[in-house]
Amino acid sequence: MQTLEFTAGPEVEGQRLDRFLTEQCKGITRSALQNLMEEGAALCNGSPAPKRYKVRAGDRVSITIPDPRPLDAQPQDIPLDIVYEDDSLIVVNKPKGMVVHPAPGNPDGTLVNALLYHCAGQLSGIGGAIRPGIVHRIDKDTSGLLVIAKNDEAHQALSEQMSVHSIHRVYHAVVYGNLKEDAGFVEAPIGRDPRDRKKMAVTDNHSRYAYTGWQVLERFGSFTYIACRLKTGRTHQIRVHMASIGHPLAGDGVYGPRNVIRALNGQCLHAKELGFVHPATGEYMQFDSPLPAYFNEFLTKLRKESRQ
Q: Please check the confidence at residue 72 and state whether its pLDDT lies above 70.
A: no
Q: For residue 172, name the pLDDT band (cuts at 50, 70, 90).
A: very high
206 shares its domain with 300: yes
- Give whole-number Cα distances, 93 to 22, 48, 266, 291, in Å: 27, 42, 17, 11
DSSP state of 95: P
Cβ atoms of 287 and 84 within 8 Å: the answer is yes
Mean pLDDT value across the chain:
90
For residue 137, tell me if it sits in a domain: yes
CATH of the domain at 51: 3.10.290.10
CATH of the domain at 237: 3.30.2350.10
34 shares its domain with 106: no
| Model pLDDT, residue 142 | 97
| Model pLDDT, residue 138 | 94
End-to-end CA distance of the chain: 63
| Model pLDDT, residue 37 | 83
237-296 residue pLDDT tens: 999 999 999 999 999 999 999 999 999 999 999 999 999 999 999 999 999 999 999 999
For residue 27, tell me if it sits in a domain: yes
Which of 146, 161, 176 represents a domain boundary (last residue)?
A: 161
Which of 65, 84, 105 represents a domain boundary (last residue)?
A: 65
Q: Please check the confidence at residue 71 and state whether its pLDDT lies above 60.
A: no
| Model pLDDT, residue 3 | 86
Which one of the listed residues 18, 139, 152, 252 is annotated catalytic?
Answer: 139
Share above pLDDT 90 across residues of the chain, in percent, rounded to a whole number: 64
60 shares its domain with 73: no
- Count of domains in the chain? 3
124 shares its domain with 61: no
38 shares its domain with 144: no
Q: Please check the confidence at residue 102 and state whether its pLDDT lies above 90.
A: no
301 shares its domain with 197: yes
Give the integer Cα–Cα distance in Å for 253 and 248: 10
116 shares its domain with 145: yes
Q: Please check the confidence at residue 203 and state whether its pLDDT lies above 90.
A: yes
Going by C-alpha positions, the residue among 249, 245, 253 that lies closest to residue 268 is: 249
188 shares its domain with 300: yes
For residue 86, tell me if it sits in a domain: yes
Give the integer Cα–Cα distance in Å for 269 and 96: 9
Q: Is 252 one of the catalytic residues?
A: no
Residue 286 is inside which H or E element, if any?
A: strand 284-288
Q: For residue 32, name the pLDDT band (cuts at 50, 70, 90).
A: confident
19 shares its domain with 139: no
pTM exceeds 0.85, yes or no: no
Higher-pLDDT residue of 266, 101: 266
219 φ, ψ (degrees, to nearest 5): -115, 140
For residue 243, tell me if it sits in a domain: yes
Q: Please check the confidence at residue 70 and state whether its pLDDT lies above 70.
A: no
| Model pLDDT, residue 67 | 67
For residue 73, tell me if it sits in a domain: yes
- Sheet harboring 42-44: ordered strands across? 2-7, 60-65, 42-44, 47-48
For residue 35, tell me if it sits in a domain: yes
Give the integer Cα–Cα distance in Å for 303 and 301: 6
Higher-pLDDT residue of 28, 274: 274
172 shares its domain with 302: yes
| Model pLDDT, residue 78 | 94
- Give whole-number Cα distances, 37 to 96, 187, 189, 205, in Å: 36, 31, 26, 23
Rg of the chain (C-alpha set): 20
| Model pLDDT, residue 129 | 65
* Coil, strand or helix at 72: coil
For residue 287, tell me if it sits in a domain: no
DSSP state of 295: H
17 shares its domain with 92: no
Name the region of 70 (left: φ>0; alpha: ψ -120 to 50; beta: rest).
beta
HSE, side-chain direction, 13 A CA sphere, residue 294? 22
Domain coverage including residue 250: 168-271+294-307
252 φ, ψ (degrees, to nearest 5): -80, 105
* Coil, strand or helix at 230: strand
For residue 283, tell me if it sits in a domain: no
Which of 161, 180, 207 represents a domain boundary (last residue)?
A: 161
DSSP state of 10: G
Burial of 143 (0-12, 13-18, 19+ CB in 10 A): buried
13 shares its domain with 83: no
